């Protein structure tokens, strides 16, 4: 029959064994921290070389400007964009300061009576870059898809796109139109080469779902971004008022001219 002294001896032996194993574990961790020897990797985990080779850093969404656009006004669009007309078209008006998106502070000149005011010199530079890109895509035979969710200007967007032989989408955007096209349409359809958003927010002040889908499909995007909008996932953004009919009409006129000059350039050089 086990006695009390026998139980005490067994307990002391167990404590010595646990203490020895704990000491070995601590010494192993200390050695690994010193770099003398690393603990063994779990079976099946990738090594450092595999992780390095498997790392991907895509740059497909970085704004791209053709080299010829950086050196000259290839389509003669730069003189069409001036600050006086932009001011008259109310492109400088933003939303109230309370709705300002932090990622749009860089494009502001200041605020007036609690309303954000865009710096039109910054807007002009980005607008010229966007127009050049649209004209360049058209000159290469690309397809432009114009999008808007504003009821006041959707008919104007459709009319402008039809006049220049391009396409427009101003109705409700069904999710998966780009990412799940074959299942929705029953066939593979050519996707647009560039998508131009005259407004980047829906009527519910949410990001247009087509922006995310275009980013997933690596389709370049041009977006008119107001002070309450998030410029993320857009390739070429233009900080400007996207609510006023006057501003949208002015922008449509410029995009129409860009498409027409791109088409004329293609007809002349092909």
CATH number of the domain at 117, please. 3.40.50.10490
Does the pLDDT value for residue 204 go beyond 80? no
Q: Are residues 207 and 99 in the same domain?
A: yes
Could you tell me the residue range of the domain that residue 15 belongs to? 4-54
Q: Are residues 191 and 118 in the same domain?
A: yes
Q: Are residues 231 and 102 in the same domain?
A: yes
pTM of the complete model: 0.74
Q: Are residues 77 and 44 in the same domain?
A: no
Q: Is residue 48 part of a domain?
A: yes
Q: Are residues 18 and 149 in the same domain?
A: no
Packing angle, helices 245-269 and 154-163, rounded to 10: 10
pLDDT digits (tens, 9 = 90+) for 171-191: 989 888 898 888 887 877 889
Average pLDDT, the chain: 82
pLDDT digits (tens, 9 = 90+) for 254-263: 999 999 999 9
Q: Is residue 140 part of a domain?
A: yes
Under the banding of pLDDT at 50, 70 and 90, the label for residue 249 is: very high
Q: Are residues 123 and 198 in the same domain?
A: yes
Under the banding of pLDDT at 50, 70 and 90, the label for residue 131 is: very high
Q: Are residues 127 and 247 in the same domain?
A: yes
Q: Is residue 219 part of a domain?
A: yes
Q: Are residues 96 and 223 in the same domain?
A: yes
Query: Which is more confident, 189 or 7?
Result: 189
Does the pLDDT value for residue 148 go beyond 80? yes
> Mean pLDDT over residues 101-121, rounded?
90
Q: Is residue 60 part of a domain?
A: no
pLDDT digits (tens, 9 = 90+) for 206-244: 899 999 999 999 999 999 999 999 898 999 999 999 989
Percent of the chain with pLDDT over 70: 74
Q: Is residue 85 part of a domain?
A: yes
Does the pLDDT value for residue 251 go beyond 70? yes
Q: Are residues 187 and 215 in the same domain?
A: yes
> Mean pLDDT over residues 8-12, rounded?
58
Q: Is residue 61 part of a domain?
A: no
Q: Are residues 120 and 20 in the same domain?
A: no
Q: Are residues 143 and 239 in the same domain?
A: yes
Does the pLDDT value for residue 28 go beyond 70? no
Does the pLDDT value for residue 165 go beyond 60? yes
> Mean pLDDT over residues 160-176, rounded?
93
Domain count, the chain: 2
**Which of 31-40, 125-134, 181-190, 218-227 is the least confident region?**
31-40
Q: Is residue 62 part of a domain?
A: no
Q: Is residue 63 part of a domain?
A: no
pLDDT value at position 47?
61
Does the pLDDT value for residue 155 go beyond 50? yes
Range picked from 34-38, 170-174, 250-254 for highest mean pLDDT: 250-254
Q: Are residues 32 and 91 in the same domain?
A: no
């Amino acid at each position: 029959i086990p006695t009390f002294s026998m139980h005490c001896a067994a307990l002391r032996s167990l404590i010595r064994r646990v203490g020895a194993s704990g000491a070995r574990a601590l010494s192993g961790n200390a050695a690994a921290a010193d770099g003398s020897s690393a603990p063994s990797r779990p079976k099946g985990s990738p090594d450092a070389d595999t992780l390095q080779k498997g790392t991907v850093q895509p740059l497909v969404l970085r704004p791209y400007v053709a080299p010829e656009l950086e050196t000259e006004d290839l389509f003669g669009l730069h003189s069409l964009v001036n600050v006086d007309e932009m001011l008259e078209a109310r492109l400088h008006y933003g939303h109230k300061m309370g709705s300002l998106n932090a990622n749009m502070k860089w494009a502001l000149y200041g605020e007036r009576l609690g309303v954000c005011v865009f710096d039109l010199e910054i807007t002009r530079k980005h607008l010229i870059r966007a127009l050049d890109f649209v004209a360049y895509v058209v000159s290469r035979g690309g397809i432009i898809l114009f999008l808007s969710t504003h009821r006041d200007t959707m008919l104007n967007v459709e009319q402008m796109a039809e006049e220049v032989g391009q396409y427009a989408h101003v109705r409700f955007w069904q999710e998966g139109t780009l990412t799940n096209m074959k299942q929705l349409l029953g066939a593979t359809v050519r996707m647009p080469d560039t998508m131009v958003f005259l407004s980047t927010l829906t009527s519910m002040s949410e990001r247009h779902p087509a922006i995310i889908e275009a980013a997933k499909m690596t389709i370049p995007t041009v977006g008119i971004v107001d002070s309450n909008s998030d410029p993320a996932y857009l390739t070429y953004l233009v900080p400007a008022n996207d609510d006023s009919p006057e501003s949208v009409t002015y922008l449509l006129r410029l995009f129409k001219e860009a498409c027409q000059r791109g088409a004329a350039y293609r007809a002349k050089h092909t």
